[in-house]
Amino acid sequence: MFIEAIQTLIQSSGFAALTWQSLVMIVLSLVLIYFAIVKKFEPLLLLPIAFGMLLINLPITGLMDAPANGQAGGLLYYLYQGVKLGIYPSLIFLGIGTMTDFGPLIARPSSLFLGAGAQFGIVIAFVVAVALGFTPQEAASIGIIGGADGPTAIYLTSKLAPDLLPSIAIAAYSYMALIPLIQPPIMRALTTKKEREIKMTQLREVSKLEKVCFPIMVTILCILLLPSVAPLIGMLMLGNLFKESGVTERLSSTAQNALINIVTIFLGVTVGATATAQQFLSPATLKIIFLGLMAFCFSTIGGLLLGKLMCFLSGGKINPLIGSAGVSAVPMAARVAQVEGQKANPGNYLLMHAMGPNVAGVIGSAVAAGILLSLFQ
């Protein structure tokens, strides 16, 4: 009886249901946990994503099971509805808005062109993805990786190609974490030392009235032009209005601390929980990883080339390095521009100048997502 009981216990345990595919995904999740903890690659999101991947590939947990036959679904199934319905990315944009200073963009409106130019990778990746056999909806979801905006990538993919969500989310956040490795070689290849040495004049001071009016005007213009972008742009600008109004300190503090942290946990774990072995271990995943890197590189190239054009048109007053910050990884991309500028000229201080294109990239990636939704949803 004792031996039979042990056999029954083993047969009903997860050990009996383990497959080599599950083991591969478990090992991959452990590698991502290592990168998050030891290498500090976007740990705030990569760690919950990796742990969610670990949980879902442990057999017979039922964590993502949908309700059936009167039985309740798994815990992560219900939490995942916030991703599926676009709730979590919008709430993260609310928190991002409270942490974003649009002052550098307002002081130099031409930064908007650099933010737009840095969406070039989205177009390139979309065209190549279609050529490789992806549907337009899938290609649009892959292309948005080039915007270097994780919440936007998750939002768009959940609407257009939910089956690709784990691959695209992990690619987007991995490449965002690798900005300090990916961008500098491209920046040095496309700019001369003389261009990198250019010192830029101090930005003008932006008034409180301008900072309060900006999110209101952007909301009106962007949503009238692209109604589908309302959840992202609306929440981003509401958060910024909380920050700049000066009368909602409690709301601003909650949005940029407690709220965004809670939502990040739910978003990360549930996105990771979609990375089952059946969906993730496929040739399509390798294509997505490659196309995501291509999108990222071409977005950097697009921003730099437009930066060089603006440098020429301004008579050498604009350092083209700030164009690389047009991708919306705030503030990491701006810091990379600052570092490269100081390597060429130790007295160069580009951070605030690069923040203009950087926050313009946040708006640009959201607008790009709205255009893709309008075309392909």
pTM for the model = 0.90
Angle, nearest 10°, between helix axes 283-313 and 165-177? 40
Nearest-angstrom CA–CA distance, 40 and 165: 23
Nearest-angstrom CA–CA distance, 60 and 76: 14
Reported confidence tier of residue 1, pLDDT bands at 50, 70, 90: low
Reported confidence tier of residue 330, pLDDT bands at 50, 70, 90: confident
DSSP code at position 318 = S
pLDDT average, residue stretch 17-22? 87
Indicate if the pLDDT at residue 13 is higher than 80. no
SS3 state at 135: coil
374 compared with 10, residue with greater pLDDT: 374
pLDDT average, residue stretch 101-107? 94
CA distances for 281 relative to 6, 60, 145, 166, 358, angstroms? 33, 19, 20, 11, 34
Reported confidence tier of residue 145, pLDDT bands at 50, 70, 90: very high
Q: How confident is the model over 182-239, as pLDDT tens digits?
A: 999 999 999 999 999 999 988 899 999 999 999 999 999 999 999 999 999 999 999 9
Q: How confident is the model over 39-98, as pLDDT tens digits?
A: 887 788 889 989 999 999 999 888 999 998 888 999 999 999 998 888 999 999 999 999
String of b and e for 313-344 (b: at least 16 CB within 10 Å)?
Answer: eeeeebbbbbbbbbbbbbbbbbbbbbbbbeeb
Give me the amino acid identity at 311. C
Q: How confident is the model over 211-225, as pLDDT tens digits?
A: 999 999 999 999 999
DSSP code at position 193 = H
Q: What is the pLDDT of residue 251?
A: 97
Q: Which single residue is written with the structure tokens 């700030």?
A: 322
Q: Report the residue count for the chain.
A: 377
Reported confidence tier of residue 254, pLDDT bands at 50, 70, 90: very high
